[in-house]
Structure 1
């Protein structure tokens, strides 16, 4: 795979099937996602919400016509940091056949540049504690585990 031929673009509704497949194609994802045909309506509604929000971007990495990666970037204004903006990266996945080939690094670097272009003062993300290799991956890209994140699932 020639990484120079990789392009990043905003996802379209036609990409949704492949995106849900990528999200479900790992140990944790296959427990929380429902990749089936037809796709559950909840995915379509979520896509429409993201697509209509100027502070949300669903980005796909394409090698030719094939989608090999996905990530969501959310831009949020805060009162803290003097009313600064930050970007949150979520739902990063690469196709299993290209994992370990630098696609994930390129996705994250693309998101970092996008956040800078949007005037953000920081980029943040979380990773599941059951993914120690992901934590190491993000640390290699310059991220620091500076806070303890907490979640309350309903």
Structure 2
């Protein structure tokens, strides 16, 4: 299968939001249908303007259909001898395209891209209610080394 990895443009917002909403957890968090909410447009503009962000869409090379998305954030730090890390978030593959090795290909691409940007590690967070995703990440070599915490602020 031929996949095209590219930086998202504003015209991709509807497809990205649909992917984010295309699972049990996301369907309760994302607003899909109708016009794109101004908050999504504002968030996209902020991501687009930040050189430490890479919002990726993945297209089927034959149909040009958006079949996946993820966001990489490059984080400089003083720990680990001044090392830079990448954070991968909002990873989604279109439901009807799962099982085609798209997710693994996306991660391999993101890992290579992070290395090209001098990152020494890639990290991610995953909801505890996603055991299938956890098995997938472990199969790719990720280790559950830390306990994560979140605090809602709004």
Length-normalised TM-score, structure 1: 0.96
Residue in 2 aligned with 1:15? 12
RMSD: 0.8
Residue in 2 aligned with 1:24? 21
Q: CA deviation at 1:65?
A: 1.5
Does 2:117 align with 1:121?
Answer: no
Deviations 1:3-30 (A, max 9, x none): 2x11111111111110000100110000
Secondary structure, counterpart of 1:28 in structure 2: helix
Deviations 1:48-95 (A, max 9, x none): 111111100000110132100000000010111111100000000011
Aligned residue pair count: 151
Question: For 2:131 and 2:152, how far apart are their aligned partners in 1?
Answer: 21
- Structure 2 gaps of 5+ residues are none
Q: Structure 1 stretches (4+) deviating beyond 2 angstroms?
A: none
Secondary structure, counterpart of 2:4 in structure 1: strand
